[in-house]
């Protein structure tokens, strides 16, 4: 009996497989066209699920923008559920920023970013100001795409994929559609979705490519040319806005973009025949940039495809034939997924920059002779990108008989090598202390073979300065360096007299220094050198005299910085330790001991830990001067937000300073659905500190206790805070700050 059952099963299998193959040979070839529409692209997944549910195979596939992404994933052999899982679990909002996390920057770059808080991308080259082609460079977006596709090789033709595939981009020079049919599938996806002005165009094969929506947003003609007999086209384009909604520049620009893409789509619709099927999910009013709407767009795709099911079912094949189709896709998928287990035998650096290959490889830190996973590759790419000199860092593979050859691609910033930096801050305590400051720098890089940097700076506002600094690495690996600096500085303090009157004390001086240093890690330096100051003091409220001073000597500095944010840190530490030995010479009108020797010690620490939405931040500053005189021009300030918050900014001045503070911060933004992605901290602080006159014993009994409550966030233009500070002696300040690092 068992033998008879086996016989009939084998007979059934032998009969069905040829029948399935015959049906496969006879059926019409089906082409799937997926249009562009940003976040609304989740609707495409709903359509794919419906096709799979109804046993409808796809023989050719093409897409534009987000449609190119979904189409590319399907062509690689992923099924609808796998694409849904990947698409919904990816934080696409990260693709809207190419800013390197602060914690990953070198110590020098951290210092530069902290001072110049406006993230402008502008340089000077060939006697003109140069900017990149988009607000975003697209590095992060490319990494998100590659995280989805995994480590797949470049293809001689996209016909090699499980489903023959095409992506549509637009030639920025001619406006014509460009069909991408070979090479890197991630590059094809990225080029097809590079929104003009928002994302930097992709340079490929001598063309400058942008989002294909302006040239062919629903490429019916392309899929017909590939060989499709029947087209299933999915249109998720935006609806034109009503007259009453077109108000403002952004609305007008959005309407123009919609008009361009809609015209290309309408033309493609004229190419559809009665046999073809057009699916239009009801997503026209949804946002293209808010990825929070993806679940709703997905449902609209399911609903629209369900409405088209009566016609779609006419394209269904048998369960056996569809199972065979899916198995074939999985088998072909192995051709590029199985080589992921290949051992990396060689790493080739394709370096379009002046950075030494050895530095790039040291940062990449991937060894040959082992199998490398995408997370390891991604971490290596991020380390190289954190050098902060590249516009693009990427990898491609070539699988050979001997193993996998990894090509590491680096491209220098196109708006360099000379860069502009801009900082802006506004502080106000709603009383008598409002401060506006502007900082501008022109930084020339690669001025030597070892990567020398010449930085020129101007600061305007309450305190002013102009300076220049030459930073010269001494070896190829840039571990040792020299630093030369000269500056004119105008320091200013607003001091209160015993009667409560306000006086301004000015310190104007020229400063110069030269030092040798060593980068003990990527995040810290040790430096020793000589420095000097020459200038005068001025207090016009008391006298027109300008007593002068001179200081010269040596310095030592140790610094280490791993903070993830200088203003609202959640992890890491920053510590600096400075010692200066100075020979001071003062105008006799300033002191009875015009010749003096001083030793200055300064230690600053800030650290943070976090659990969930909560962060604890510690701050400590200690400054001391040892000298024989009863006078010094080397003073420190206290007062302002988180620096004895009950006092106005820099209202306490003295040569000795101590401050200790403990902050608690809670990120409210994580609790708000659909928030902008910026943190919103509700915080409070307890602080203790003071300043002391020269040669006065520092006594804990003199400490001033203060605290604050505040709301703060870290915006694209720097930190912003609004709060109130109270001191134990009754001083109260209300403060607002934007763009200022405290």
Say which residue, 400 or 117, is predicted with more confidence: 117
Worst-scoring range by mean pLDDT, 234-248, 399-413, 475-489, 608-622? 234-248
Catalytic: which of 98, 211, 561, 596? 211
Say which residue, 425 or 529, is predicted with more confidence: 529
Token couple for 545: 């005299």
Distance between CA 717 and CA 117 in Å, rounded? 6
Q: Which sequence spans correspond to the domains of the chain?
A: 30-98+156-337, 342-412, 430-739
Q: What integer pLDDT is reported at residue 389 of this predicted model?
A: 94
pLDDT tens across 147-162, in order?
998 888 889 999 999 9
Distance between CA 87 and CA 133 in Å, rounded? 27
Distance between CA 706 and CA 646 in Å, rounded? 6
Q: What integer pLDDT is reported at residue 20 of this predicted model?
A: 45
Q: What integer pLDDT is reported at residue 7 of this predicted model?
A: 47
Q: Which of 186, 192, 193 is nearest to 288 (CA)?
A: 193
Question: Mean pLDDT throughout 422-450?
Answer: 87
Tokens 């530069």 map to which residue?
112
Distance between CA 287 and CA 269 in Å, rounded? 23
Q: What integer pLDDT is reported at residue 3 of this predicted model?
A: 52
Q: Confirm whether 667 is a catalytic residue.
A: no
Question: Mean pLDDT throughout 626-651?
Answer: 89
User: Which CATH number among 3.90.1580.10, 3.40.50.2020, 3.40.190.10, 3.40.1090.10 corresponds to the domain 30-98+156-337?
Assistant: 3.40.1090.10
CB 50 within 8 A of CB 350: no
* Dihedral pair phi/psi, residue 432, rounded to 5°: -125, 15
Q: What integer pLDDT is reported at residue 505 of this predicted model?
A: 85
Per-residue b/e over 290-308, b at no fewer than 16 CB within 10 Å? Answer: ebebbebbbbbbbebbeeb
Q: What integer pLDDT is reported at residue 221 of this predicted model?
A: 97
If you average pLDDT over every residue of the chain, what do you get? 89
Element (H, E) at 315: none
Distance between CA 33 and CA 315 in Å, rounded? 16
Model confidence band, residue 13 (pLDDT cutoffs 50, 70, 90): very low
Alpha carbon 652 to its chain's center = 38
Q: Residue 149 forms beta bridges with which residues?
A: none
Over pLDDT 70: what percentage of the chain? 90
For the cut 80, the answer to whether the pLDDT of residue 672 exceeds it is: no
Distance between CA 549 and CA 589 in Å, rounded? 11
Element (H, E) at 106: none
Distance between CA 236 and CA 38 in Å, rounded? 9
CATH class of 430-739: mainly beta
Give the list of residues 6+ apart from residue 700 with CB closer than 8 angstroms, or none.
none
Q: What integer pLDDT is reported at residue 499 of this predicted model?
A: 58
User: Which CATH number among 3.30.1330.180, 3.40.640.10, 3.10.20.310, 3.10.20.90 corresponds to the domain 342-412?
Assistant: 3.10.20.310
- The dihedral of CA 327, 332, 337, 341: what is its sign? positive
Q: Confirm whether 316 is a catalytic residue.
A: no
Model confidence band, residue 15 (pLDDT cutoffs 50, 70, 90): very low
pLDDT tens across 179-209, in order?
999 999 999 999 999 988 788 899 999 999 9
Catalytic: which of 35, 59, 65, 598? 65
Worst-scoring range by mean pLDDT, 70-84, 175-189, 191-205, 308-322? 191-205
CB 105 within 8 A of CB 113: yes
For the cut 80, the answer to whether the pLDDT of residue 238 exceeds it is: no
For the cut 50, the answer to whether the pLDDT of residue 9 exceeds it is: no
Worst-scoring range by mean pLDDT, 527-531, 581-585, 737-741? 737-741
Over pLDDT 90: what percentage of the chain? 65
Question: Mean pLDDT throughout 683-688?
Answer: 96
Pairing of strands 480-496, 464-473: antiparallel
For the cut 70, the answer to whether the pLDDT of residue 397 exceeds it is: yes
For the cut 50, the answer to whether the pLDDT of residue 6 exceeds it is: no
CB 588 within 8 A of CB 599: no
């Amino acid at each position: 009996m068992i033998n008879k059952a086996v016989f009939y099963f084998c007979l059934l299998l032998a009969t069905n497989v040829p029948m399935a193959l015959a049906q496969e040979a006879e059926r019409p070839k089906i082409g799937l066209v997926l249009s562009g529409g940003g976040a609304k692209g989740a609707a495409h997944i709903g359509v794919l699920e419906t096709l799979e549910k109804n046993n409808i195979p796809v023989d050719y596939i093409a897409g534009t923008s987000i449609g190119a992404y979904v189409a590319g994933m399907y062509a690689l052999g992923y099924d609808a559920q796998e694409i849904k899982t990947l698409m919904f679990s990816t934080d696409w909002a990260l693709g809207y920023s190419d800013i390197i996390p602060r914690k990953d920057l070198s110590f020098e770059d951290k210092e530069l970013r902290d001072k110049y808080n406006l993230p402008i991308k502008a340089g000077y080259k060939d006697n003109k100001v140069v900017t990149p082609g988009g607000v975003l460079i697209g590095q992060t977006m490319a990494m998100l795409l590659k995280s989805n596709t995994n480590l797949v090789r470049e293809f001689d033709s996209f016909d090699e994929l499980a489903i023959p595939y095409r992506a549509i981009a637009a030639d920025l020079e001619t406006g014509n559609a460009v069909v991408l049919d070979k090479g890197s599938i991630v590059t094809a996806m990225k080029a097809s979705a590079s929104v003009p002005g928002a994302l930097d165009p992709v340079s490929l094969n001598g063309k400058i490519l942008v989002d294909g929506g302006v040239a062919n947003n629903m490429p019916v003609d392309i899929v017909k040319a590939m060989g499709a007999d029947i087209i299933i086209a999915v249109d998720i384009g935006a609806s034109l806005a009503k007259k009453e909604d077109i108000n403002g520049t952004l609305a007008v620009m959005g309407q123009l973009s919609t008009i361009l893409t809609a015209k290309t789509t309408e033309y493609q619709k004229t190419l559809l025949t009665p046999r073809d099927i057009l699916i239009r999910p009801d997503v026209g009013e949804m946002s293209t940039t808010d990825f929070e709407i993806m679940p709703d767009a997905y449902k609209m795709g399911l609903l629209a495809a369900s409405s088209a099911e009566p016609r779609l079912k006419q394209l269904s094949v048998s369960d056996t034939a569809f199972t065979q189709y899916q198995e074939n896709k999985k088998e072909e998928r192995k051709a590029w997924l199985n080589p992921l287990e290949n051992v990396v035998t060689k790493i080739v650096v394709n370096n379009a920059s002046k950075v030494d290959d050895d530095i790039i490889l040291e940062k990449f830190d991937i060894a040959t002779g082992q199998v490398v996973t995408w997370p390891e590759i991604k971490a290596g790419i991020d380390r190289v990108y954190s050098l902060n000199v590249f516009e693009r860092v990427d990898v491609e593979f070539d699988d050979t008989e001997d193993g996998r050859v990894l090509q590491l691609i680096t491209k220098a910033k196109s708006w360099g090598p000379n860069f502009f930096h801009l900082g802006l801050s506004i502080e106000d305590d709603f009383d008598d202390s409002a401060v506006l400051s502007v900082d501008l720098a022109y930084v020339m890089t690669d001025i030597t073979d070892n990567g020398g940097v010449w930085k020129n700076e101007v600061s305007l506002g309450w305190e002013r300065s102009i300076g220049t600094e030459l930073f010269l690495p001494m070896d190829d690996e840039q571990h040792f360096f020299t630093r030369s600096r000269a500056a004119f500085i105008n320091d200013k303090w607003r001091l209160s007299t015993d009667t409560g009157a306000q006086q301004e004390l000015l310190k104007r001086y020229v400063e110069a220094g030269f030092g040798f240093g060593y980068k003990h890690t990527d995040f810290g330096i040790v430096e020793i050198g000589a420095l000097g100051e020459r200038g005068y003091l001025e207090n016009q409220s008391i006298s027109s005299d300008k007593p002068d001073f001179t200081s010269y000597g040596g310095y030592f500095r140790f610094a280490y910085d791993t903070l993830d944010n200088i203003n609202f840190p959640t992890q890491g530490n920053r510590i600096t330790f400075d010692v200066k030995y100075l020979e001071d010479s003062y105008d006799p009108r300033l002191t009875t001991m015009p010749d003096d020797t001083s030793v200055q010690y300064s230690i600053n620490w800030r650290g943070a830990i976090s659990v969930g939405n909560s962060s604890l931040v510690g701050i400590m500053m200690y400054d001391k001067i040892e000298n024989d005189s009863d006078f010094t021009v080397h003073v420190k300030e206290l007062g302002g937000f988180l620096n004895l918050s009950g006092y106005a900014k820099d209202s306490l001045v003295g040569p000795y300073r101590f401050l200790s503070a403990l902050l608690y911060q809670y990120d409210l933004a994580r609790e708000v659905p659909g928030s902008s992605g910026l943190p919103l901290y509700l915080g409070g602080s307890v602080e203790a500190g003071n300043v002391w006159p020269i040669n006065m014993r520092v006594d804990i009994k003199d400490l001033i206790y203060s605290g604050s409550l505040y709301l703060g966030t870290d915006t694209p233009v720097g930190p912003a805070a609004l709060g109130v500070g109270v001191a134990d002696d009754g001083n109260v300040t209300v403060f607002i700050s934007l763009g200022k690092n405290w």
